[in-house]
């Protein structure tokens, strides 16, 4: 499958967009913290973060048996900065 299509499919899910937005606001977080922050089960967060990682939007690291996620550096891929900016604009318009 074309990589661009994978990115758009990944961003077509509300949970994944919320996870990205949370990482933008809060920085690196452990999966259970992210799940609690947006109100979804741990397994749902883990599955969606794995999809975001496969599209190079987030990166993970393991530390003391826990998995932490953060945004992939904007300069890593040319489109990341644009996608992040679109998500930030969306949440400025949508009341919480």
Contact 61, 21 (CB under 8 A): no
Q: Which pLDDT tens digit goes with each residue over 17-35? A: 999 989 988 889 999 999 9
pTM of the model: 0.79
- Sign for the pseudo-dihedral over CA of 71, 73, 78, 81: positive
pLDDT for 96: 52
Cα dist from 64 to 13, 68, 69, whole Å: 30, 10, 14
Cα 9 from Cα 27, distance rounded (Å): 24
Domains identified in the chain and CATH numbers: 3-93 (1.10.10.10)
Write out pLDDT tens, residues 35-47.
Answer: 999 999 999 999 9
Sheet containing strand 29-30, strands side by side: 29-30, 66-71, 58-63
């Amino acid at each position: 499958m074309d990589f661009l299509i994978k990115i758009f499919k990944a961003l077509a899910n509300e949970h994944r967009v919320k996870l990205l937005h949370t990482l933008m606001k809060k920085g690196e977080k452990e999966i259970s913290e992210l799940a609690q922050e947006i109100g979804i089960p741990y397994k749902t967060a883990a599955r969606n973060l794995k999809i975001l990682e496969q599209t190079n939007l987030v990166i993970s690291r393991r530390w003391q048996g826990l998995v932490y996620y953060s945004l992939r550096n904007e300069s890593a891929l040319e489109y990341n900065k644009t996608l992040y900016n679109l998500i930030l604009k969306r949440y400025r318009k949508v009341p919480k």
